[in-house]
Amino acid sequence: MSSYTKPAPNFDLSSPSPAYTLASGDKMPIIAYGTFRSNPGEVGPAVIEALKAGYRHLDLAHVYGNEEEIGKALKQAFDEGIVTRDELFITGKLWNSDHGVDIVPQAAAHSLNNLQLDYFDLYLIHFPVCWKHTGLATPGWGASELGDTPLIDTWRAMEDLVEKGVCKNIGVSNYPMMVMHDLVTQAKIQPVCNQIEVHAYYQRESLVNYCSSRNICVTAHTPLGGGALNSETWDTPIPLKDDIILEIAKKHGKSPAQVLLRSLLQRGIVILPKSVKPHRMAENKDILDFSLTETEMKKIATLDKYVSYKTNPNPLSSFMGGPDAFSKMGTDIFD
């Protein structure tokens, strides 16, 4: 069996504006502003506040139902000189219902029109997990939630978007290990990112290491474990209230959220916290002036419950030995 070699982070946390260098060479700011669960009427002003607070990476999706309002906010920001388009890194997503080869360019064009933009810096395929269609994707574009189009055919259509300048980079969202490996072995243009649920209670070491070893950026779309909303909705434990996190936060004079976000950055994971409150936006960015010790990181590692709020991974190990063996136990191909 080969020795265990953990991939190193692909960004410098000592930099005043750290960015992940994607496989394409493009720089992606490691702290993004997320717009999921942002209600109509509040997301536009929130985006303006986020830009004023210094966020330069925005994570968007047509299925969130707020692209048009965000587009108006972006135009306002450009017109008022708050920021220029070149200073921003914009991520968009292709929803489950829109995987048809002919639909992919229509969906991307529709989102760009809503946002009043000419291109995406990054465009992601959302993995078709088994839940019902939300009704937010454009009617008539897709056949079904799981669809009839092989994912590799959808990927070929995404590659065409890069060649036509519709997006600079392409990646995936919520791809588990087996699907990720299948894509990597077939893609002509490699995915630069896998945006997944990853946090202190669901650490996904196998998948994170697999992606990192191939310079596929891992982005955490649920960096706080779902926060208070998950706790209130499903009565589930959340990392924000964990005693170990509270202890570490007190020691550093930081909030539990800041400790959780910082721990992900130290694992080499890009984060996209979400809040419409200006003071929370500022707090979520104020995590570059302290470091967690190796001992503290090990304590956080013990919190892994191997539980997802969205998927149900199967704890089987494979890739025993060879370049993809990231631990003595192997690599979980279902992570």
Q: Give the tens place of pLDDT for each residue, 2-40.
A: 556 777 788 999 999 999 999 999 999 999 999 988 888
Angle, CA of 190, 155 and 71, to the nearest 5°? 95
H or E segment at 92? strand 89-94
Residue with tokens 């779309």: 221
pTM, two decimal places:
0.87
- Kindly report which listed range (20-24, 142-146, 150-154) carries the lowest average pLDDT score: 142-146
pLDDT tens-place string over residues 175-192: 999 899 999 999 999 999
The residues pairing with 92 across neighbouring beta strands, listed in sequence order, are 123
Mean pLDDT of 54-73: 95
Hey, what are 152's tokens? 């590799």
Rounded Cα–Cα distance for residues 154 and 187 (Å)? 11
Residue 147's pLDDT is 58
What confidence category does residue 96 fall into, taking pLDDT thresholds of 50, 70 and 90? confident
64 annotated active-site: yes
| pLDDT of 331 above 60 | no
Closest CA to 127 of 146, 111, 143, 105: 146
Closest CA to 123 of 193, 226, 49: 193
Residue with tokens 């190796």: 294
Q: Is 99 annotated as a binding residue?
A: no
The residues pairing with 220 across neighbouring beta strands, listed in sequence order, are 196, 271
pLDDT tens-place string over residues 263-275: 999 999 999 999 9
Conformation bin of residue 225: beta by default, left when phi > 0, alpha when psi is -120 to 50: left
List CB contacts of 116: < 8 A, sequence separation 6 or more.
Answer: 71, 72, 74, 75
Residue 128's pLDDT is 62
Contact assessment for residue 103 and residue 139, using Cβ atoms and an 8 Å cutoff? no
User: Residue 165 phi/psi, 5° resolution?
Assistant: 80, 10
Active-site position among 20, 64, 202, 210: 64
Rounded Cα–Cα distance for residues 242 and 300 (Å)? 10
Helices (H), the chain: 43-52, 67-79, 103-115, 151-163, 177-186, 205-213, 227-234, 243-252, 256-266, 278-285, 294-301
Reported as half-sphere exposure (CB side, CA atoms, 13 A), residue 151 has a value of 25
Residue 271's pLDDT is 98
Closest CA to 126 of 66, 188, 193, 69: 193
Residue 308's pLDDT is 75
